């Protein structure tokens, strides 16, 4: 009983921060693909590289956005996608219609997944945990819904630590960037994965200075089977 006030406060805080994030992405949804037009020329290859490694089975995609990963979903996978923004989901559904492809899509907060434990064979997120208000909590939710033998694969941009001046500049710019586009530019996601209790199998630097990383992890080893 003594912990209840703190627990309730955290839930309220999560809801408030999620609402701010949802509002930002709903605002940007109509122009989101245009905003990402130039970066996506580089991101597309990384997306394909990630999805080429996804095993067959039931896969959760967190933060489907406008559906940029849809063309890379491999045959034999049953993909369930979620996103916090209704505006982004609407664009994802239109993209799916154009592709003639129908992943199961849900409006959902990554920090409070409405799925039973051990539901998925794998989980994927691309450039998502920069935007989740509490990324550690979101990653713990992935560990919960992915089967013990499953994989969690993340493609994320992170803070550059060396040279130090770049990291400091990212820290300085972060409050402005997050207000404009909804994404933090100075998160240390690989460290957050470990802090969330997941077991990291591999971290691959895809961009200079480790700006973009491919992180492959598994649910914690002592997860109840």
What residue ranges do the domains of the chain occupy? 4-218
pLDDT at 101: 87
CB neighbourhood size of 104 (10 A): 12
| pLDDT over 70 (residue 137) | yes
User: pLDDT tens digit string along 103-127?
Assistant: 999 999 999 999 999 999 999 999 9
- Distance between CA atoms of residues 207 and 131, nearest Å: 20
User: pLDDT tens digit string along 6-61?
Assistant: 544 444 456 889 999 999 999 999 999 999 999 899 999 999 999 999 988 999 99
pLDDT at 14: 61
CATH of region 4-218, choose from 3.40.50.2000, 3.40.50.150, 1.10.150.20, 3.30.360.10: 3.40.50.150
- Distance between CA atoms of residues 51 and 43, nearest Å: 12
DSSP state of 71: G
pLDDT at 223: 62
Token pair in block for residue 76: 């034999």
CA angle 190, 200, 108 (to 5 degrees): 65
Q: What's the pTM value of the predicted model, to 2 decimals? A: 0.90
């Amino acid at each position: 009983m003594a912990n209840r006030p703190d627990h309730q406060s955290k839930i309220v805080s999560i809801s408030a921060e999620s609402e701010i994030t949802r509002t930002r992405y709903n605002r940007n949804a109509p122009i989101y693909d245009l905003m990402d037009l130039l970066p996506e020329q580089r991101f597309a290859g990384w997306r394909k590289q990630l999805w080429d490694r996804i095993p067959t089975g039931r896969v959760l995609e967190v933060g489907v956005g406008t559906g940029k990963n849809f063309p890379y979903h491999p045959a034999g996978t049953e993909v369930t996608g979620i996103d916090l923004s209704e505006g982004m989901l609407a664009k994802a559904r239109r993209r799916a219609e154009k592709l003639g492809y129908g992943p199961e899509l849900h409006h959902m907060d990554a920090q409070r997944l409405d799925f039973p434990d051990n539901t998925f064979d794998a989980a994927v997120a691309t450039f998502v945990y920069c935007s989740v208000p509490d990324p550690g909590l979101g990653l713990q939710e992935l560990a919960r819904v992915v089967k013990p033998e499953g994989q969690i694969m993340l493609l994320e941009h992170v803070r550059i630590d060396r040279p130090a001046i770049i990291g400091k500049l990212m820290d300085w710019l972060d409050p402005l960037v997050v207000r404009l586009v909804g994404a933090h530019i100075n998160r240390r996601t690989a460290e957050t994965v470990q802090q969330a209790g997941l077991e990291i199998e591999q971290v691959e630097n895809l961009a200079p200075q480790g700006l973009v990383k491919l992180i492959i992890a598994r649910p914690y080893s002592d997860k109840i089977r």
